Amino acid sequence: MKERFFRFILDRKYLVILLTFIVTFAMAAGMKNLQFSNDYRMFFSEENPQLTAFEQLQNTYAKNDNVLFVLAPKDGKVFSRKTLSAVEELTKAAWQIPYSLRVDSVTNFQHTYAEGDDLVVDDLIREADSLSDKDLLRAQEIAVNDPLLVHRLISPKAHVTGVNVTIQLAEKKLTEVPEVAGAAQKLAQQIEQKYPHIKIYLTGMVMINNAFPAASVKDMKTLYPAMFVAVLITLALMLRSIPGTFATLIVIILMILGTMGITGWINIKLSPPTTTVPIVIMTLAIADCVHILVNFLHGMRVGLAKREALLESLRINLQPIFLTTITTAIGFMSLNFSDAPPFRDLGNMAAMGVVLAFILSITLLPAMMMILPVKAMNADSRGSRAMMHLAEFVIRHKIKLLWVVGGSILFLIAQIPNNRLDDQFVKYFDETNEFRTATDFATDNLTGIYLIEYSLDSGEAGGVSNPEFLRNVEAFAQWYRQQPNVLHVNTLTDIMKRLNRNMHADDDEWYRLPDKRDLSAQYLLLYEFSLPFGLDLNNQINVRKSATRFIVTLESISTQEMLAIEESAQQWLAANAPGMKADGASPSIMFAHIGNRNIRSMLKGTTVALVMISAILILAFRSLRIGGLSLLPNLVPIGTAFGLWGLLVGEVGLALSVVSGMTLGIVVDDTVHFLSKFLRARREQGMNAEDAVRYAFSTVGTALWVTSFVLMLGFAILALSHFQLNAGMGLLTSITIGLALLADFLFLPPLLILFGGRTK
């Protein structure tokens, strides 16, 4: 039946090509529906407990998605008339940024002081250009000594200041984030042009949301075309066939168009991980085409006519290519176990691409090769001779190789524990990225972007005025301020202490919490009535006044350090204030947990995929022994790659946690092709194990190293990305594929010779 199918393909070549193009372009029409997701929440599934906690906190209080303008005057003096005038102007203009909900700066900071029996609440700075030197000095002294400002909107040395714009996105369209980011960038440029002595850095959650798609688009414009050209040139040099390279190019283009079109039809949103899909499926499509072309060109070299050479190549490659398609698709589908939806989408899109690549490689590719002019090369090639030399080397030193390679494998696997989990989302971008540069500057000079937030509940309406509750909150704040890497603690108790001092004629002796509940409630009510519109306490106190928001700002610390400090905070709450126990929530906490959660999820997914792949290979090869032996070269590359990574790098984050699932299906490909040819020699030609290994090297060895090299090249170029999620994934995948080739050339053949069973 399969021969009739292939004869139909070759006899109706023009019809096959026409139908292929029609169907592919129908699928590609779905590309009009493609959209980029630009929300960091895309990395978290709806059932993620940390996301649930964070959204509950944001629904209780105002959302804290923000744009932070960091102003750095070149003279290092924030409290000068020209710099404060710039801050005033920026503060006023920032209200016009789309979806802005609140603007905070040192100029509009609601400073309180006593004037007789009255409480005065007013902007700290008004009309900066008219202030005297004495007024400037007084304002600076107030700002750098106020715990609500220092390390938040003013640096301790008063050399850098910030204007924080709280954004509440409508979340109705995907253009909202670029709209806000564009308005902020335009405003920053206007201020810099008017005040050339100031440099402005833009950071905040809105800017990181905007940085994700920006980094991906940059890669798509620069890295992907370069990789595309490099892979095609490499392929042409290795195949030494222009028609074969051209046909492969057409297969790649149609496969990418079809895959991205289906993605649009089923409404999968693009994200930074999914932008790598064209690269991944391109390299896998090349692998299918190379196996068919290598055997086809070899057939023509030994004297077969074009049609017979194509038929023979399709006959001997159909089973291994079909098997590799199934196993690779299963490997990618295992990414559905991931806790991060973008990696699920990556797996599903890549699986679709792999299937399309298989269909096109056994239909469009042979049809085009029948039309294109193909000349037979010399009968013997340098590549085939090299493969035969390698086969003889492996057979001659099989025992030594088994011990040396086996020992090396055990050594590298033993290094896996050297990897530590570290997933700082700011470091998803390298130092060349504008957002990363701005965030690093802000962290070094003003404040951090890593937060831990709590909703501390008093357990009763109006309980935020309860002196006992306030004392517990204050004690929690003091504990946090003594912890390493803590930059700032934003707490209601600092406002209450200041109000108590104000109501006692600004006497510093009264800078403490009120002793009576009614006093606390009256102070708070008086203060709230005095606040201007947009600067109220809704972002700190809930509607029932039963709970308060407590925000800790940290330096850029590792995942483990953040989880450790949060765990210590939970222990402190349990021991000292069990009534107001609350889980920490924030994007930082979410990203800190996602790596751990994803590794556990992917271990399950990889295990399920491995069981399924092993069962398929056992059934396909009709041999429990061969199926069992195939497990070793399939598992070894992943284990040794992570071991080597532990020696050289030692950090594993979100992106690397999916590499095992991604590469499992890919590394099986080489094993399947080698075993397929080995078993064909044993069963059809009655060869012994050593001759069967020689046959496998001679028929598929060249194709294996060509496809592996192209795959390694593709993923290695991805490693040049400035977006570290893609770069780390590309580099580790390239390493894994290289180790897989070594395992299939140096470890699998000795196993087959010594334990492959008797000839049937």
Q: Looking at residue 466, what is its pLDDT?
A: 93
Q: Looking at residue 757, what is its pLDDT?
A: 61
Q: How sure is the predictor about 95, in pLDDT bands with cuts at 50, 70 and 90? A: very high
Q: How sure is the predictor about 71, in pLDDT bands with cuts at 50, 70 and 90? A: very high
Question: Greater confidence, 258 or 37?
Answer: 258
* 111 within 8 A of 124, measured Cβ to Cβ: yes
Among 155-169, 620-634, 736-750, the least confident range: 620-634
Q: Looking at residue 380, what is its pLDDT?
A: 46
Topology at the third CATH level for domain 1-33+209-426+591-756? Multidrug efflux transporter AcrB transmembrane fold (1.20.1640)
Among 99-113, 128-142, 265-279, 594-608, the least confident range: 594-608
Q: Is the pLDDT of residue 759 over 50?
A: no
pTM of the model: 0.82
Q: Is the pLDDT of residue 210 over 70?
A: yes
Tally of CA atoms within 13 A in the half-sphere of 598 that contains its CB: 31
Q: How sure is the predictor about 73, in pLDDT bands with cuts at 50, 70 and 90? A: very high
Q: Looking at residue 404, what is its pLDDT?
A: 92
**Pairwise CA distance, residues 676 & 320, whole Å:** 6
Q: Report the phi/psi class of residue 395: left, alpha or beta, with left for phi > 0 and alpha for psi in -120 to 50.
A: alpha
Q: How sure is the predictor about 264, in pLDDT bands with cuts at 50, 70 and 90? A: very high
**Pairwise CA distance, residues 30 & 26, whole Å:** 8
Each residue of 544-579: pLDDT tens digit? Answer: 899 999 999 998 888 888 889 999 999 999 999 888
**Pairwise CA distance, residues 214 & 5, whole Å:** 46
Q: Is the pLDDT of residue 107 over 50?
A: yes
Q: Looking at residue 426, what is its pLDDT?
A: 80
**Pairwise CA distance, residues 270 & 257, whole Å:** 15
Q: Which residues contact 636 (CB under 8 A, 6 or more apart)?
A: 409, 739, 740, 743, 747
Each residue of 686-735: pLDDT tens digit? Answer: 888 889 899 889 888 888 888 888 888 878 888 888 888 778 888 888 99
Question: Greater confidence, 355 or 679?
Answer: 355
Each residue of 410-451: pLDDT tens digit? Answer: 999 999 888 887 777 788 888 888 899 999 999 999 998 889
Mean pLDDT on 671-694: 86
Nearest alpha carbon to residue 709 among 387, 231, 223:
231
3-state secondary structure of 569: helix
Mean pLDDT for all residues in the chain: 87
Q: Which phi and psi (to 5°) does residue 181 adopt?
A: -60, -40
Q: Is the pLDDT of residue 511 over 50?
A: yes
Q: Looking at residue 383, what is its pLDDT?
A: 64
**Residue limits of CATH 1.20.1640.10 in the chain:** 1-33+209-426+591-756
Each residue of 333-386: pLDDT tens digit? Answer: 988 988 888 889 999 999 999 999 999 999 999 999 999 888 765 544 566 778
Q: How sure is the predictor about 665, in pLDDT bands with cuts at 50, 70 and 90? A: confident
DSSP strand E in 615-737: where?
Answer: 651-652
Q: Is the pLDDT of residue 64 over 80?
A: no
Q: Looking at residue 381, what is its pLDDT?
A: 59
Nearest alpha carbon to residue 473 among 522, 520, 525:
520
DSSP per-residue string spanning 325-381 = HHHHHHHHHGGGG-SSHHHHHHHHHHHHHHHHHHHHHHTHHHHHHHHS------SS-
